[in-house]
Structure 1
Amino acid sequence: MRTRQSIGTRVVAALAVAVLAATACGSGSGADDDRTVIRFLIAPDPLWDFMRDQGIIKKYEAKHNVTIQTNSSWDEFQFFAGGHGDIVSMGTLELPILEKQTKIDTVTFGRYNGFRSTPAALCDKGYKTLEDIPKGGKVGVNSPLSSTILWDIYSREKYGFPVQVGNKETPFKIVVEDHFVLPELLARGDLDAAIIIPEAGARYLRSKKLCYMYGGRASWEVLPELMPNKDHKGVLSNGFTSTKKFYDENPEAIAAFLDLWEEGLKQWAKNKDKIVRTYPQHFSVESPEDIKYVIDYLNSEHDYFQPTVYLDDEWVENEKKIYDLMKQYGLMDKNAEIPEFATVEPPES
Structure 2
Amino acid sequence: MKKLIGFIAVLSLVLTMLAGCNSKGTSSGGDTPTYKMGLLPWTGYAPWYIAEETGLFKKYKINVKLVSFKQDADLNAAFASDDIQLANIASHTALRMVGQNGLDIKSIVFLDESTKADAMITSGKYQSFADLKGKKVAYEEGTTSDLLFKQALKDNNLTSKDFQVVLSSAADAGIALASNKVDAAVTYEPYISEIKNKNKDVHAVYSGSDAPGLISDMTVAKSSFLKENPKLQDKLEKVWQEALDYWKKNPDKGNEIVAKGTGSAVEDLPPILEGIKFFSIDEQQQLMDSGDLTKNIEKIKGILSSQEKFKHDVNVQNILAIK
Coarse TM-score class (shorter-chain normalised): 0.7 to 0.9
* Structure number with bigger Rg: 2
**Per the alignment, in what secondary structure is the counterpart of residue 165 of structure 2?**
strand
Residues 46, 275 of structure 1: 8 Å contact kept: no
1:305 to 252, 265, 278: 278
> Could you tell me which residue of structure 2 aligns to residue 342 of structure 1?
320
CA gap of 1:108–1:282, structure 2 versus 1, over 3 A, is same
1:326 to 304, 310, 313: 304
Give 1:4-153 correspondences, 5 Å limit: 25=26, 31-32=30-31, 39-43=35-39, 46-61=46-61, 67-70=62-65, 72-74=67-69, 75-99=74-98, 102-115=101-114, 116-123=117-124, 125-128=125-128, 130-133=129-132, 135-141=133-139, 143-153=140-150
Q: Aligned residues: percent identity? A: 17
1:222 to 210, 214, 222: 210
Q: Which runs of 5+ in 1 are unaligned?
A: 1-17, 62-66, 164-169, 225-231
Q: Which runs of 5+ in 2 are unaligned?
A: 1-17
> Could you tell me which residue of structure 2 aligns to residue 235 of structure 1?
215
Per-residue deviation, 1:203: 4.2
Please say if 1:295 is aligned against 2:287: no
Q: Which has the higher contact order (CA 8 A, sep 6+)?
A: 2
Per-residue deviation, 1:278: 3.7
Please say if 1:211 is aligned against 2:186: no
Structure whose residues are more often helix by fraction: 2
Residues 51, 239 of structure 2: 8 Å contact kept: no
CA distance in 2, matches of 1:84, 1:185: 31
Per-residue deviation, 1:51: 1.9
TM-score, reference length from structure 1: 0.69
Per-residue deviation, 1:118: 0.4
TM-score, reference length from structure 2: 0.74
Per-residue deviation, 1:57: 1.8
Q: Deviations over 1:206-251 (max 9, x none)?
A: 451311224xxx42x3322xxxxxxx4x532x31212122334654
Per-residue deviation, 1:156: 4.0
Residues 37, 66 of structure 2: 8 Å contact kept: yes
Kindly provide the amino acid, as one letter, of the partner of residue 168 in structure 2: E
Please say if 1:161 is aligned against 2:158: yes
Q: Deviations over 1:85-127 (max 9, x none)?
A: 543222222224433565431111311234532011112x241
Kindly provide the amino acid, as one letter, of the partner of residue 308 in structure 2: L
Residues 144, 215 of structure 2: 8 Å contact kept: no
User: CA RMSD of the aligned region, Å?
Assistant: 3.4
